[in-house]
Amino acid sequence: MEAFAIGFGALILGGVLGGVLARVISPRAALFLSLGLLGVFVILMVRRQLSEGWDAIGYFVLAVFYVAPACVGSGLVGLLAMWGSRRR
């Protein structure tokens, strides 16, 4: 149950950070944040493949429970901000 709370917190944090970037700079900034987090996710997964034992589990948990939800949150907020600005 705590793992879902951590993932949900990371999703909310990524969404809030993406929303601040979309509001202050531009919606594309939130999408670039999402792409950067996607790059971090890929790096962590590659490191997981190269590691053994508990190190591999640590990289997997970090990637799946922290980075992936933040990436999804900022990406969704960026896409919604772009969609909202085009509708006006």
Asked whether the whole model's pTM tops 0.75, one would answer yes
If one counts the domains in the chain, the total is 1
Model confidence at 66, pLDDT cuts 50, 70, 90, reads very high
Residues of the domain holding 71: 27-81
Residue 86 lies in a domain: no
Using the structure block, give the residue that is written with the tokens 């944090």: 13
Average pLDDT (8-31) is: 92
Average pLDDT, stretch 60-81? 92
% of residues, the chain, pLDDT over 70:
98
Q: For residue 48, is it within any domain?
A: yes
Per-residue pLDDT, 88: 59
Q: What is the pLDDT of residues 24-52, one digit of tens each?
A: 999 999 999 999 999 999 999 999 999 89
- Does residue 65 lie in a domain region? yes
In a domain, 34, yes or no: yes
Alpha-carbon distances of 68 from 23, 50, 72, rounded to whole Å: 22, 20, 6
Is 76 within a domain? yes
Computed on alpha carbons and rounded to an integer, the radius of gyration of the chain in Å comes to 15
